[in-house]
């Protein structure tokens, strides 16, 4: 019942979220032939080495490698890190904070379920609503790529989507924790938004970039995956699993806080 109620609350936003990812993806694919001819110009304008590497890979004379690099930037470096994280914050902000604002938290806690089950049920719905569209829209890029006479491999796209999903769910977990602790949705959104802004700012400062979470979801991660240079074992056990461990730890803290929460 709790899961169904949560889904009813976010289902329209989930549809909008899915469409937004796809709307960003389709023009990016269709514009590839034109951008392919002009991409070399942009390399000189990039402010940091990672972005220079990205533009250099997209300008690769090998058309297949160049397109894989381009799509890793469009689908994951841009799509996941913008729309995915925005969706994570939007969906998870209301999980507890809205109940508290509306005065319905006491009613929610009076249900014949443990607090752990209540919170995990709500979070699981949000996680699925975030992850499924990432996979679906990523897979649509495979047939769409044939429109510009390019190809993407299903396995590498799925592997990249898996890592991207883990990264997005991590931010949903962070937002969940803030939603449990904060007194309102505004406080939750502000806290998570400020954290994201700081993380982005750190990412663009080369000397301290290692401290940014976005280093775990940039072109240096997705480029090698889509090009087929990083196998499943290297990606999952080298990177993705740690995102999942961090997410589990944050959710555990959120559950512990929720058990002690006052209506």
pLDDT value, residue 42? 65
Average pLDDT, the chain: 90
Average pLDDT, integer, range 151-160: 95
The helix-helix angle for 219-226 and 154-181 (nearest 10°) equals 150
Average pLDDT, integer, range 1-28: 93
pLDDT value, residue 46? 65
pLDDT value, residue 52? 73
CA distance 261 to 259: 6
pLDDT value, residue 60? 76
Average pLDDT, integer, range 82-105: 90
With contact defined as beta carbons under 8 Å apart, do 137 and 22 qualify?
Answer: yes
Model confidence over 210-261: pLDDT tens digits? 999 999 998 889 999 998 888 888 888 988 999 999 999 999 999 999 988 7
Domain residue ranges in the chain: 2-259
Q: Which two tokens stand for residue 84?
A: 């995915």
Secondary structure of residue 103 in the 3-state scheme: coil
Secondary structure of residue 212 in the 3-state scheme: coil
Model confidence over 25-62: pLDDT tens digits? 999 999 998 887 776 666 666 666 777 777 777 877 77
* Rounded (10°) CA dihedral 170, 172, 178, 183: 180
Contacts 24+ apart (CB under 8 A), 144-148: 144/25, 144/26, 144/29, 145/29, 145/67, 145/71, 147/29, 147/30, 148/29, 148/30, 148/32, 148/33
Q: Which two tokens stand for residue 15?
A: 């549809």
CA distance 252 to 41: 48
pLDDT value, residue 263? 62
Half-sphere exposure of 92 (CA within 13 A, CB side): 36
pTM for the model: 0.92
pLDDT value, residue 40? 61
């Amino acid at each position: 019942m709790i899961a169904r109620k949560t889904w009813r609350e976010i289902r329209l936003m989930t549809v909008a979220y899915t469409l937004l990812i796809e709307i960003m993806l389709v023009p990016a694919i269709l514009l590839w032939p034109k951008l392919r001819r002009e991409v070399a110009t942009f390399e000189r304008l990039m402010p940091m080495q990672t972005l220079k590497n990205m533009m250099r890979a997209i300008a690769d004379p090998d058309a297949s490698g160049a397109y894989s690099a381009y799509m890793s930037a469009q689908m994951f470096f841009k799509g996941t890190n913008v729309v995915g994280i925005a969706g994570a914050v939007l969906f998870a902000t209301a999980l507890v904070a809205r109940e508290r604002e509306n005065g319905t938290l006491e009613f929610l806690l009076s249900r014949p379920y443990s607090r752990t089950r209540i919170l995990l049920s709500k979070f699981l719905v949000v996680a699925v609503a975030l992850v499924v569209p990432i996979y679906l829209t990523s897979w649509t890029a495979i047939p769409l790529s044939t429109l510009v006479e390019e190809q993407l491999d299903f396995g590498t796209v799925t592997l990249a989507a898996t890592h991207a999903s883990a990264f997005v769910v991590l931010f949903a977990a962070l937002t969940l924790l803030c939603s449990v602790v904060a007194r309102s949705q505004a406080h939750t959104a502000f806290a998570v938004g400020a954290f994201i802004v700081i993380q982005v700012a750190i990412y663009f400062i080369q000397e301290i970039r290692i401290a940014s979470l976005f280093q775990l979801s940039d072109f240096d991660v997705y480029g090698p995956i889509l090009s087929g240079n990083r196998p499943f074992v290297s990606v999952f056990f080298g990177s993705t699993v740690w995102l999942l461990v961090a997410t589990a730890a944050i959710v555990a803290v959120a559950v512990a806080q929720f058990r002690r929460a006052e209506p």
